[in-house]
Amino acid sequence: MAWSGELPFELKVAIAEAVTLFSRIDDMVIRVLWAGEMADLKRRKQIMKNRSFTNLEYLEAFVKAHLGGIEIPETWAALAALRQERNMIAHGVWGMSEGVPTVIWHEKMLESDEFETAELYDYERFKLFTNKAMKLLDTFARYRVMLNQIAEIKRREAAETAPPSGSPPVQPPADGDADPPQQ
């Protein structure tokens, strides 16, 4: 088969759209974590500095711990598979063979000292990637809404139990300041 490194415009767009869409998932994961933690600026910056994979692992543990023990192994499996696809799309060497897009991802396709394989990656596969990514993005957007609602409830509850503004906070008496017991 003849291989060419010349990429048609349609393939360039498909690659860019896939990488951009997965970046939106990464962004949504960060925003879900911010909402779930009710994170202040310092914590938001810490979360942003994490590697994407670290945030994804943390999100899985967070969802299990804080959203009623939700067990969604299909979501995590789909996300892991999509992340691998994204890595191949973003880090692979793209070309065309007989009019079909091909990709070589050295990390996975180096078979021997003399041979490496290229994987056919047609436009239908890009559509499947997009469909899966959109479903995951929607799922994480729903988590974010739920966590924002929980955070708002917690803020309201905290405001209701806080002393009125301008009043000194109520503090328990120190050991020696307690009123003597009534007899």
Please write the tens of the pLDDT for every residue from 110-156.
Answer: 566 666 677 889 999 999 999 999 999 998 899 889 888 888 888 88
Residue 92 backbone phi and psi in degrees, to 5: -75, 165
Domain count, the chain: 1
Residue 180 lies in a domain: no
Q: Which of 156, 97, 149, 151 is nearest to 121 (CA)?
A: 97
Q: What is the pLDDT of residue 170?
A: 47
Instruction: Label each residue of 9-43 as H, E or C.
Output: HHHHHHHHHHHHHHHHHHHHHHHHHHHHHCCCHHH
Judged against a pLDDT cut of 80, whether residue 163 lies above it is answered with: no
Residue 181 backbone phi and psi in degrees, to 5: -60, 140
Judged against a pLDDT cut of 90, whether residue 169 lies above it is answered with: no
pTM above 0.85, yes or no: no
Residue 102 lies in a domain: no
Instruction: Please state, in angstroms and rounded to a whole number, the distance separating the CA atoms of residues 164 and 159.
Output: 9
Residue 18 lies in a domain: yes
Residues 6+ apart with CB under 8 A from 10: 123
Size (the chain), residues: 183
Residue 103 lies in a domain: no
Q: What is the residue range of 147's domain?
A: 14-90+120-162
Residue 125 lies in a domain: yes
